[in-house]
Chain A
Amino acid sequence: MCGIAGLIHRGKSSNVGRELTAMLQSLKHRGPDSTGFALYGSPKSGEHVLRFKVAEQEDMRHGFQIQHLVKERRAEVDRRLDELGATRVAVEDATDYAFRYSISYDGDMKKLADYVEDVEGAEILSIGNTLELIKDLGDAGQVSSQYGLGEFGGTHAIGHTRMATESDVDIRSAHPYWAYPFNDISVVHNGQLTNYWGSRREMERRGHRFMSNCDSELIAVYLADRMERGDSLEESMHRSVGELDGVFTYVVATADKLGMAKDVMAAKPMVLYESDEFVALASEEVAIRSVFPHEIDTYDPYEGEVMVWQS
């Protein structure tokens, strides 16, 4: 059934890593297979954060060759970044198989993404000025601890706890999805899209790539496609409610915005708390209570509703 959550501070930064970890941990019962975070920190002028992996967590437990393969793949990624003229400003090993690079690059980001992902086993989790996307197997506490997210400062964040139904239990099928090739756009989803394959084929004909067989990835690609054609985030979301078929509630974030959309049947839950300083939304109120233990007024958005908040 999956659990989704999001939060945004209006006009200030906070420890969004710790806050989102608490929210997702309280939604663990909705999906224990994997947990993902899309965190929006402070932008650094001229730098992008590249989060990528070169193997699945599961791969690391099998085979004598995998450690060697990981080194080879990473070296090839580094070589291709150098070839494209991307400068690695800072390099961090998040895990044995997932990495965080700060890069300086002013070329074509789609070309860079395609070239890096052409390396066997490589998948870009996110590229952004502010976005850092982390996802892995395990609950929120485990993933947050593994990747050191507890002290992540920023303005907003979205996250997901996954109950795998339509695709594998692996990082590739975990949420959030980065809206390739757009910087700083990420999506989490609870539900099931029934026109996934038809819409995917249409997107692929338009040149978009899919890294998984997870229907939720379609939402990220769909929004990216609409925005590439000139729609605003809000316009794209309104259009998605009519064109995506099935039951869904999704949350999307950009460099400075947080949004949510609900299908016309309102079949998937979402509870919302909104004040002048802060907005929090989640599949269950217990998640909001994990950051607001005192009494607050919450409500459910209605069918077909689209809402967007500015940081």
Chain B
Amino acid sequence: MAELEQDHESYELGMHTEQLSGRTQQVFFSAEESDHLVYPWAPQVDFEKTAEIDANSLDQRAVNQEISRLMNEGVGTITVRNPGAKHSLGVGILSRLNLHFDGSLGYFGCGLLDGPNVTVSGRVGWSCAENMMAGTVVIEKNGGSTFGAAIRGGDLVCKGDVGSRTGIDQKGGTIIVGGRTGAFSGFMMQRGRMVVLGDAGKNLGDSMYDGTIYVGGEIADLGVDAVEAEMTDLDCHWIERKLSQYGLEAPKGAKNMKKIVSGKQLWNYDNLEPAEKKLVL
């Protein structure tokens, strides 16, 4: 029963129905289509089967290949020791997997994911989880800039501070920042939700098309076409439930957070100017 209520709530929030008006958005980003997406080549893994990789003497390609090899052997829970802030670790994993990094990742860590649950005990560099489709990525310490760039689904959580341009071009999913985020966060955001428990830098939500940003601390200033909207009980309930999944809570309570959405005054996405139309047609 509780699950049914949660589904109902997410529909009420518009998470299953929000659509951009553009033609390309309608074709490629339909929520209904993504529900049925599966990869026939995805390995069947057993979460009870565990393995460890010591990345200390391996380069990034070797670490990723070892993760892939273990998955193809059915290993469902992998711990990577000594990642040493190397770049592009844990990328391109398109099936279920419990993956833990004991340490910090460099740039482009956990990019192009579709399904795994990843935890990082340290920090992540720029562009963590870029283009993530589904799954969860939880970082215990800080993150760099362009955190969650262009993610389309899943939950991306950083319990510390992150840099600038968080969730740039976000197309879905949820980004949660336990601390502060830098300038231009939510720039050109198209769908999804971002929750920032600390302060947000200048130009928050600049040129956002859609989606929602919740901020618990101070906002330096809003970007072009980003406007504050009224927090509802549904917003508060969803934030509290989402944060509790990751052991977080809003310092001043969810109801005291600010909600930022698109003013839709610049909303001409995919609408061609008359002169351009002539050229195209």
Residues of A whose CB lies within 8 Å of any CB of B are 264-266, 269, 271, 284-286, 288-289, 293, 295, 297-300, 302-303
Contact = CB atoms under 8 A, between A and B. Distances in A.
Contacts of A303: 164, 182-183, 201-202
Nearest to A262: B164
B123 interface: yes
A298 B85 CA distance: 11
Contacts of B106: 284-286
Contacts of B209: none
Given A269-B145, A302-B180, 15 more contacts: A264-B183, A266-B164, A266-B165, A284-B107, A285-B106, A285-B123, A286-B85, A286-B87, A297-B123, A298-B104, A299-B142, A299-B161, A300-B163, A302-B201, A303-B183
24 contacts: A265-B164, A265-B184, A266-B163, A266-B164, A269-B126, A269-B144, A271-B125, A284-B87, A285-B85, A286-B85, A289-B84, A289-B85, A289-B104, A295-B122, A298-B123, A298-B142, A299-B123, A300-B144, A300-B163, A300-B182, A302-B180, A302-B201, A303-B201, A303-B202
B86 interface: yes
Interface string B171-191: 000000000101110000000
B258 interface: no
Contacts of A264: 183
A297 B180 CA distance: 16
A271 B123 CA distance: 11
A303 B125 CA distance: 16
Nearest to B143: A300
Contacts of A286: 84-87, 106
A196 to B, nearest CB: 24
Question: Which residue, of A265, A269, A286, A300, has the highest number of chain B Cβ atoms within 10 A?
Answer: A300
A297 B141 contact: yes
Interface of B: 84-87, 103-104, 106-107, 122-123, 125-126, 141-142, 144-145, 160-165, 180, 182-184, 201-202
A114 B96 CA distance: 67
B182 A266 contact: yes
Contacts of A298: 104, 123, 142
Contacts of B87: 284, 286
Contacts of B164: 265-266, 302-303
A284 B122 contact: no
Contacts of A293: 84
Interface of A is mostly: loop
Contacts of B107: 269, 284
Contacts of B145: 266, 269, 300
A266 B87 CA distance: 20
Given A298-B142, A303-B201, A266 B183 contact: yes
A75 B69 CA distance: 65
Given A285-B106, A297-B123, A302 B85 contact: no
B205 to A, nearest CB: 16
A300 B103 CA distance: 17
By CB atoms of chain A within 10 A, which of B142, B144, B201 has the most? B144
A230 B122 CA distance: 43
Contacts of B165: 266
A269 B184 CA distance: 15
A284 B106 CA distance: 7
Contacts of B180: 302
B127 to A, nearest CB: 10
Q: 4 closest A-B pairs (Cβ-Cβ)? A: A285-B85, A266-B164, A300-B163, A303-B183
A122 B87 CA distance: 41
A284 B108 CA distance: 12
A107 to B, nearest CB: 48
A298 B139 CA distance: 13
A302 B199 CA distance: 12
B142 to A, nearest CB: 5
Contacts of A266: 145, 163-165, 182-183
Nearest to A297: B141
A300 B183 contact: no
Nearest to B105: A285
Contacts of A300: 142, 144-145, 161-163, 182
Nearest to B165: A266
Contacts of B184: 265
Nearest to A301: B163
Contact of A284 (B85, B103, B162, B183): B85
A300 B145 CA distance: 8
Given A284-B125, A295-B122, A271 B84 contact: no
Contacts of B182: 266, 300, 302-303
